[in-house]
Chain A
Amino acid sequence: MRRTIFELFAKSPFGPLQDHMAKIMECVRLIPDLFRAIEAGDDEQIRIITEKVEKAEFEADEIKNQIRGDLPSTIFTPVDRDDLVDILSFQDHISDVAEDVAVLYGMKKLPFPESIREPFWGFMEKVMLTVEQYARINQELDKLMQSSFGGAEAGRILEMISALSVLEHEADLKQMGLLRKLLSLEEELGALNIVLWMRIFQCVGDIANGAEKVGNRLRLFLSN
C-alpha cells in the first residue's frame, strides 16, 4: 500500500513530556517521606524509600531517552526542537537532584537535631509547593499545544510561571534561615556533619531551583 506519505505524522513529544514529569513527581514526592523516616530513625524505611527514589529516577531516565530517540533532527515541532530537548533535560535534572538527596544521606548516618527540624520542614514545604506548581504547568502542555501556543492559554501559563518564581524565591529565603540555624550547631554536630547537611539541603533546594529553571525555559515556547 502506498500510504507512506502518512509517515509525515510523527509521534507527539508533548504527551511523553507529561509522562516524564509525572514520573519525576513520583520520585520527588518520596523526599518528604524520606525525611520523615530520618526523623523517626527508621533505617529500614529509609532504605526502602531510597530504593524507590532510585527506581523512579531510573524510569524517568528511560522515558527521557525514549523521547530523545523519537526526536531526530528531521522532526519538525511547533516549538524549537532544541528548546524541547532542553526542557526535557531540565525536567530530568529535578529527579537527579532528588536522587542525590537520598544518595548523600545514605553515605553517612547523620544526626537530625531537634532544633533544625522546624525550619527544615518549613523549607521542605516551600520546595514541594514550587515543584508541584511546575508539575501543574506541565499538565497544561497538551492544552497549550491545542491552542497552538498562543493567546489566552499562553497568558494563563505565563501567570503560573510568575507564581512559580515567587514560590522558588520563598523557598530560597527558608533555605537561608535553615542554613543559619544549621551553622549555629557547629559544637553539637561537628564540621563534617554540617558540611554534609549543607550539601543535602542544597540538593533539596535544587529541586525548587530546577523547577523554576524549567518553568522559565517554557516561556520561550510562548514567545510570538
Chain B
Amino acid sequence: MIGLDPWVLWVAVAACVYMAWNIGANDVANAMGTSVGSHAITLKQAVLLAAVFEFAGAFLVGGHVTDTVRKGIVSTDVFVGHPELFVLGMLSALLAAGVWLNLATYLGLPVSTTHSIIGAIVGFGLLVGGMSAVHWGKLGSVVLSWLISPVCGGLMGWLTFTYIKRTVLSRWNPVRAARSIVPILIFPVAMVLTLSMLYKGLKNLKLDVSLDKALLISLAVGTVSFLVLKVILNRKYSTRPRKRTDAFAQVERLFAYLQVGTACSVAFAHGANDVANAIGPFAAIVSVFRNGDLAMNVPVSLWILALGGMGIVVGLATWGHRVIETVGRKITSITPSRGFSAEFATATTVLVCSKMGLPISTSHTLVGSVIGVGVARGMAALNLKVILAIVNSWLITIPATAVVTVLIYLALKALAL
C-alpha cells in the first residue's frame, strides 16, 4: 500500500466535485447561451436539456478524453516506486486548475477549464519527472487540436449557414423553402448525436455496438426525426405564408425547432469533452489508491464518470442557470438560423474530438463557429477583439496553472510526506 493518508483521497474527491461544479456553473452557459439568446428554447427547457444531455455525454463518452487527461499527458513510468508523488501531483493539478479558474473569473479572462487542467498537469509532470515525464507527442497533438478545433468549427459554421442561405434565405418564398429544408437538416443533427452515443458510447453499459450497426441505427433515428418534424411542420404551418414583411420572422420560428436538437447535441458534446477536466486527474488518483501502484490499464470506473456528470448537473442547478439567463439576455443579435449553424458546427467538431480523446475547449470552438457564420454574412456585428483575449488567455493559462501547480505540490508534499 502506498504511504498516503486516506484524507488525500477525500481532498481529491472534493477537488474533483468542485471542478465539475465549476464546469456546470460556468461552462454550460457557454454551450447553451446561444440557444437561449435566440429564444429557440426557454431558460427552463435549456436547463432541463442541459442537465440530461451533459450527464449523458459525460457518462457515455466522457471516458475517452478522461483517459487522455489521466495518463496521456504525463508518463507514469517515471513514478514507478513512487506512486504517492504521482497522486500528490495529480491532486495539485486539480487544485491549481480550480484556483486559477477562480482567479481568472475574478480578472474577467475568458479562460478554458481544459487549458487550465492540461497546463497544470504539464507543470507537475515537468517538476517531478523532468522533461522525459511529459508525453510531448501527445501534448503536441492536444495543443494542435486547440488551434484546429475553432478553425474546424468556423469552416463547418460557414458551410452550414451558406447552405441555409442558398436553399432558404435567398428564395422568393423563404417560408415555403424553410418548410422543406428544416426537416432535412434535423437528419444530420439526429444522426451525429445518435452515432456518438452508440458507437463506443454504450460500452459502459456493456452494450458494445459495432460501427456498421451503430451507423444503421443512427440512419434510422435520423430518418424518423426527419419524418416527425415534417409532420409537425406540415400540420402547424399548413397555412399560406402571411405578409412578406414577417416572412423572415416565420423562417426563424421554423429554425427554432432545429435548435432544440443542436442544443441537446452541444450539451452532450460538452459533457463528453469537459467532464474529463474534473475527473481525469481524479480517476488517476483513484486507480493508484485502488491498485496500490501505477497500473493504469483499467478503464475509468463508471462511478467516477457518474460523479463528474452529477457534479456538472449540480453546478448547473445551483449557479449555471443564472449564468445561462444572463448570457441569453446579453446575446440578442443571434437568430435560430444562425444559432443552429453555429451549434451544429460546434457540436460536431467537439464530438469528433471527444471520440479521438482530444481535450479541447467547447467555448473556443463555439467562438470559431460563430465567426464562420459571420464570414458567411450571417452576423450583424462581431467584436473580433475577443479572439485576441482568447489567444492571450492561452498564453497566460498554461504557464500560470503550471506555476500554481508547482507551488501547491510543494506545499502538499511538505504536509503529506
Residue ID in chain A nearest B331 by CB atoms: A9
With a CB–CB cut-off of 8 A, which chain A residues contact B379?
9, 76, 78
With a CB–CB cut-off of 8 A, which chain B residues contact A12?
333, 380-381
State A6–B383 Cα separation when bound (angstroms): 9
Docked complex: B134-185 residues within 8 A CB-CB of A: 161, 165, 169-172, 174
Docked complex: A119-157 residues within 8 A CB-CB of B: 143, 145-153
* One of A8, A78, A143 near B377 (C-beta < 8 A): A78
With a CB–CB cut-off of 8 A, which chain A residues contact B389?
4, 7
Tell me if A6 and B384 are in contact (CB < 8 A): no
Docked complex: A1-52 residues within 8 A CB-CB of B: 1-14
Q: Is A184 an interface residue (CB 8 A)?
A: no
Nearest Cβ in chain B — how far from A191, in angstroms? 53
Q: Is A110 an interface residue (CB 8 A)?
A: no
Tell me if B330 and A9 are in contact (CB < 8 A): yes
* One of A8, A70, A77, A147 near B174 (C-beta < 8 A): A147
One of B45-53, B277-285, B365-373 at the interface: B365-373
Q: Is A173 an interface residue (CB 8 A)?
A: no
With a CB–CB cut-off of 8 A, which chain B residues contact A10?
333, 381-383
With a CB–CB cut-off of 8 A, which chain A residues contact B367?
5, 8
* One of A5, A70, A152 near B171 (C-beta < 8 A): A152
With a CB–CB cut-off of 8 A, which chain B residues contact A71?
381
Tell me if B378 and A9 are in contact (CB < 8 A): no
State A22–B62 Cα separation when bound (angstroms): 54
Total chain B interface residues with beta-carbon distance under 8 A: 52
Q: Is B210 an interface residue (CB 8 A)?
A: no
Docked complex: B259-311 residues within 8 A CB-CB of A: none
* One of B37, B111, B172, B381 near A2 (C-beta < 8 A): B111
Docked complex: A50-76 residues within 8 A CB-CB of B: 70-71, 74-76
Nearest Cβ in chain A — how far from B160, in angstroms? 13
Docked complex: B91-123 residues within 8 A CB-CB of A: 101, 104-105, 108-111
Tell me if A3 and B381 are in contact (CB < 8 A): no
Given contacts A5-B390, A9-B334, A9-B382, contact A148 B376 (CB under 8 A): yes
Given contacts A1-B323, A8-B386, A12-B381, contact A151 B26 (CB under 8 A): no
Q: Is A79 an interface residue (CB 8 A)?
A: yes
Tell me if A8 and B382 are in contact (CB < 8 A): yes
Nearest Cβ in chain B — how far from A164, in angstroms? 20
Nearest Cβ in chain B — how far from A96, in angstroms? 26
Q: Is B196 an interface residue (CB 8 A)?
A: no
Tell me if A1 and B26 are in contact (CB < 8 A): yes
Nearest Cβ in chain A — how far from B164, in angstroms? 9
Residue ID in chain A nearest B169 by CB atoms: A147
Tell me if A9 and B105 are in contact (CB < 8 A): no
Q: Is B335 an interface residue (CB 8 A)?
A: yes
Tell me if A5 and B381 are in contact (CB < 8 A): no
With a CB–CB cut-off of 8 A, which chain A residues contact B170?
147-148, 150-153
Interface-centre pick from A4, A7, A79, A150 (highest chain B CB count, 10 A): A4
State A150–B377 Cα separation when bound (angstroms): 10
State A146–B37 Cα separation when bound (angstroms): 16
With a CB–CB cut-off of 8 A, which chain A residues contact B376?
148
Q: Is B30 an interface residue (CB 8 A)?
A: yes
Tell me if A146 and B382 are in contact (CB < 8 A): no
Tell me if A79 and B381 are in contact (CB < 8 A): no
State A114–B364 Cα separation when bound (angstroms): 71
* One of A5, A70, A152 near B363 (C-beta < 8 A): A5
With a CB–CB cut-off of 8 A, which chain B residues contact A4?
108-110, 386, 389
Q: Is B29 an interface residue (CB 8 A)?
A: yes
State A1–B315 Cα separation when bound (angstroms): 13
State A14–B380 Cα separation when bound (angstroms): 7
Tell me if A76 and B382 are in contact (CB < 8 A): yes
With a CB–CB cut-off of 8 A, which chain A residues contact B251?
146
Tell me if B333 and A3 are in contact (CB < 8 A): no
Residue ID in chain B nearest A9 by CB atoms: B331
With a CB–CB cut-off of 8 A, which chain A residues contact B335?
146
Nearest Cβ in chain A — how far from B332, in angstroms? 8
With a CB–CB cut-off of 8 A, which chain A residues contact B323?
1, 3
Tell me if A6 and B111 are in contact (CB < 8 A): no
Tell me if A74 and B30 are in contact (CB < 8 A): no
With a CB–CB cut-off of 8 A, which chain A residues contact B37?
9
Nearest Cβ in chain A — how far from B163, in angstroms? 12
Tell me if A151 and B165 are in contact (CB < 8 A): yes
Tell me if A76 and B371 are in contact (CB < 8 A): yes
* One of A6, A78, A145, A147 near B327 (C-beta < 8 A): A6
Docked complex: B201-249 residues within 8 A CB-CB of A: 245, 248
* One of A74, A145, A153 near B380 (C-beta < 8 A): A145
Residue ID in chain A nearest B364 by CB atoms: A5
With a CB–CB cut-off of 8 A, which chain B residues contact A151?
165, 169-171
State A14–B377 Cα separation when bound (angstroms): 13
5 contacts between A and B (CB under 8 A): A4-B110, A8-B383, A9-B330, A11-B381, A146-B169
B binding-site residues for A, Cβ under 8 Å: 26-27, 29-30, 33, 37, 101, 104-105, 108-111, 161, 165, 169-172, 174, 245, 248, 251-252, 323, 326-327, 330-331, 333-335, 363-364, 366-367, 370-371, 374, 376-386, 389-390
Apart from A3-B330, A70-B381, A147-B170, 11 more pairs, CB < 8 Å = A1-B105, A2-B104, A3-B26, A6-B331, A7-B385, A8-B367, A8-B371, A9-B330, A74-B385, A143-B245, A149-B377
Question: Which 6 pairs across A and B sit closest by C-beta, in order of nearness?
Answer: A151-B170, A12-B380, A78-B377, A146-B248, A10-B381, A10-B383
A binding-site residues for B, Cβ under 8 Å: 1-14, 70-71, 74-79, 143, 145-153
